[in-house]
Amino acid sequence: MSKPDLTRMTATDLRDQLARGEFSAADLTDAVLARIAEEDPKLGAFAYLDPTLARKTAAALDAYRGTGRALGALHGLPVGVKDIIDTADMPTENGTPIDAGRQSGRDATIVQRIRAAGAVVIGKTVTTEFASRHPGKTRNPHNHDHTPGGSSSGSAAAVAARMVPLAVGTQTAGSVIRPASFCGVVGFKPTHGLIPRTGILRQERTLDTVGVFAHTVTDAALLADAIAGHDLLDPDTRLLPPPRLLETALSEPPVTPALAFVKTPFWDQAADGTREGFAELVEALADTCTEVALPEIFSEGAQAQRTLMTAGFARNLGRYCDRGMDKLSDHAREMIEEGRKVSAIDYLEALDWREALNNGLEQLFDRYDAIVTPAAPGEAPRDLSTTGDPVFNALWTLCGVPAVTLPLLAGPHGLPVGVQLVGRRGEDARLLRTARWLVKTVEAE
């Protein structure tokens, strides 16, 4: 009997079979490294790999399992880590030649938690420059002439190409949801502050959010559960009980979820295929999905998010101008220049917009379990000089609400188009439960 292809299995199935001893962490690591060797020369999803270190880690995990002690939640699972997240034993180069060879000498908090849960950090995935818009080398696994999105381009592409079952990214505008949509995987951006950012390149504190990539909602919940929680060094995290994302995601909703189809003020930027796909989806969902219009003030959200993001970019990354202006992209220089012109009044007013818009969303979530809306204007553009438009993401990032994208639609060229679900702040587990219900409902149609 032929051996199963371990790279085709879900993370939760891999976890369960590893725990039963049906194969070893070394077996899985070898399978993943072989897949990377086959696919990554074409895709460029990884910025750094150390196969020797990965195999050494897997061997240590197998030895630990042999002691009979309890296993971590991610025991033996390979995880890709975006290259703005510090790793003690690998370089973190932030997508810029200015940081070439940079070694922080320490793990970011989430990397500590990934390792403590028993995962194998398989390598560093490509990021755009400073996790912004200037593309890296990664290509879309579905068509190499199309962008994979950004800034978490390598993480999305690595999961989509089955080079890893799980990966971590970050989002300040649309850097988890959009590449997940373009690459056809599940992307989960939790409530702002649910996952700590200590040891991660900062763009803008009020927006920066750690997210995850996986093939299923359950897998996304598994990884997010392992890295969520309070961190004394991140003032935006909260001292709360564990979110129990996986447990809740696996449960059935007590009643049929009520969904609000929201076009957002940017519907005119949605591609024709996206509009048609959502019309069919809403029709298929029948009485469980109702179109709801957001008040006109929500059109101000994109500019408020941009104000905060550019100001933060200038404050936190402007130092790179002194270290190597000639090595910065035009985009980075323009972002820094724009951010330096933001006044304190403009910045504080943008923060006020965040709370004002959240007040409106609270009223909507009193009636509906989640918002249904596009994850991106359409398919991934056939243009490697861009990462696509975050217009359908920036509003939700500004508000700090949880969002998940599901690969449920396809565009006119057969490329994936994500369906984004948005939930109330702090109700990440409920959102993931609703997302899993939606996937099952659509697949049953």
DSSP string over 148-217: --SSSHHHHHHHHTTS-SEEEEEESSSTTHHHHHHHTSEEEE-STTSS--TTB--S-TTT-EEEEEESSH
**Contact between 8 and 35 (Cβ < 8 Å):** no
Rounded Cα distance between 263 and 392, Å, is: 9
One of 132, 151, 152, 153 is an active-site residue; which one? 151
Q: How many CB atoms lie within 10 A of CB 203?
A: 26
Rounded Cα distance between 269 and 260, Å, is: 20
One of 155, 175, 189, 263 is an active-site residue; which one? 175
User: Residue 143: exposed, middle, or buried by beta-carbon count in 10 A (0-12, 13-18, 19+)?
Assistant: middle
Q: Is 152 a catalytic residue?
A: no
**Contact between 151 and 116 (Cβ < 8 Å):** no
**Contact between 94 and 324 (Cβ < 8 Å):** no
The token pair at 70 is 């309890």
| Of residues 260, 288, 245, 254, the one with CA closest to residue 432 | 245
Report residue 100 CA to chain centroid gap: 24
| Of residues 47, 83, 97, the one with CA closest to residue 329 | 97
The token pair at 423 is 């939930």
Report residue 401 CA to chain centroid gap: 14
Q: Is 153 a catalytic residue?
A: no
| Of residues 437, 438, 300, 417, the one with CA closest to residue 357 | 300
Tell me the CA end-to-end span of the chain in Å, nearest whole number: 35
Q: Is 327 a catalytic residue?
A: no
Active site residues: 82, 151, 175
